[in-house]
Amino acid sequence: MLRDAAVALAAAGIDNVRFEARLLLAHAAGLSAEQLIARGAEPAPAAVAERLRALTARRVLREPMAYILGEREFWGLPFKVSPAVLVPRPDSETLIEAALALMPDRQRPWRILDLGVGSGCLLLTLLREYPAASGVGLELSEEALAVAQANAEALGVDMRARLVLGDWQQPDWHQRLGGPFDLLVSNPPYIEAGAIERLMPEVARFEPRLALDGGPDGLAAYRNIATAAPALMAPDGRVLVESGEGQVTEISRIFASAGLAMEAPWRDLAGIDRVVSAMHSKH
């Protein structure tokens, strides 16, 4: 069964086919990877074979593995995901690293705002790392907000997270969020609208366009965030936003023109400038 699934995945142009086939078979059988190895010689129940065929057919169409499994790990934590939310990516862990380095006091009651909360991977991970902190997450999609709420409950931080339905393209959108905030984080849509169809099929066909489409130049969301940031931030509050490759210079210019003090960007594991860092100075 493992071999047959791997062959089908390879024919669809997918990499790491043995690894992916094992994930699918474990999910179909309701077993861990270790249990799968231990019971590899046993005959597989017909129901498991049927489930595996159905799961493999979805992956062959390039549906993201995270949507098929319903979960993705981020910062060592399990996050439920659905097609309503962007799949959490290792690149975004750079933002968590930056926050922990720049705000080393883990016991302070920081107030954190996440714009475009999605699955909740940024806000909820930060609430786990800062046990005295509280946070607000803004999200335009009701379906995404439900996923974030389920993750907040599963991770035990729901009492410290307020999730709000709202649209940063509306006037005065920031006035209902409370504040001031010590930390504003966001992984906003940053793909140029015209480039989405050229992305990997897993992204272009399946991930929510709302979370990808950054307008004609990919920077529309950053302009909205920069405009509102001074009103949302506490003195010496910090803004950390994820960016696409090659966008840091322009995003920094947008934030600087809103009166924020720019800091050095943070690089991801591939050495790409990934997170823009700025401070709201008192003056």
Locate CATH 3.40.50.150 in the chain: 72-280
**Mind listing the pLDDT tens digit for each residue in 37-86?**
898 888 989 999 999 999 999 999 999 999 999 999 999 999 999 999 99
pLDDT of residue 194: 86
Question: In angstroms, rounded to a whole number, what is the distance separating the alpha carbons of residues 241 and 68?
Answer: 28
* pLDDT tens-place string over residues 112-147: 999 999 999 999 999 999 999 999 999 999 999 999
Model pLDDT, residue 282: 60
Give percent of the chain above pLDDT 90. 80
User: Given a cut of 70, is residue 283 above it in pLDDT?
Assistant: no
Q: How do residues 199-257 score in pLDDT, each as one tens digit?
A: 898 888 888 888 887 888 889 999 999 999 999 999 999 999 999 999 999 999 999 99
Q: How far apart are the first and last CA of the chain?
A: 65
User: How many angstroms separate the CA atoms of 23 and 243, rounded?
Assistant: 30
- Our CA angle for 94, 71, 164, nearest 5°, is 70
The CATH code for residues 72-280 is 3.40.50.150
Q: Which residues contact 7 (CB under 8 A, 6 or more apart)?
A: 17
The answer to whether 66 and 87 have CB atoms below 8 angstroms apart is yes
Which distant-in-sequence residues (6+ apart) come within 8 Å of 140 by Cβ?
A: 116, 165, 166, 167, 168, 210
* 162 Cβ contact list (under 8 Å, min separation 6): 134, 135, 136, 137, 178
135 DSSP β-pair partners = 112, 161
Q: At 159, is the pLDDT very low, low, confident or very high (cuts 50, 70, 90)?
A: very high
pLDDT tops 80 at residue 281: no
Query: What pLDDT score does 191 carry?
Result: 84
